[in-house]
Amino acid sequence: MSKRGEIKNISKVLEDFVSQKHYRAGIDNLRVQEAWVKTMGENIQKYTYNVKYKKGILFIKLKSSVLKEELIFEKNKVIKLINQELGKEYVKELILN
């Protein structure tokens, strides 16, 4: 029960907790990483060894220079697909290394 004697819905409590700034960044990072894996599939995932998201930028480290060039060419499409998967515009920029 809350201080005022109201019962709070567990989803509301979790939403309030997660909305705190430092937790939000970590959860956003996980969501974007999951969207990358789901959107790009297993074949591309085999050549990915580091995926990080911070403040609208998705950083991807790749093992294949050929794949890197292909993804650079399709960068805007990749960003669009990931954001569609997330249902919100999280990714504004994609940096491939």
pLDDT for residue 15 is more than 80? no
Note the pTM of the prediction, 2 decimals. Answer: 0.77
φ, ψ of residue 20 to 5 degrees: the values are: -65, 135
Domain map (residue ranges) of the chain: 10-96
**Average pLDDT of the chain, as a whole number:** 89
Average pLDDT of the segment spanning 53-73: 97
User: What is the spatial distance between Cα 73 and Cα 86, in angstroms, rounded to a whole number?
Assistant: 22
DSSP category for residue 8 = P
The domain 10-96 is placed in CATH, from the list 3.30.300, 2.40.30, 3.40.50, 1.20.1630, at 3.30.300
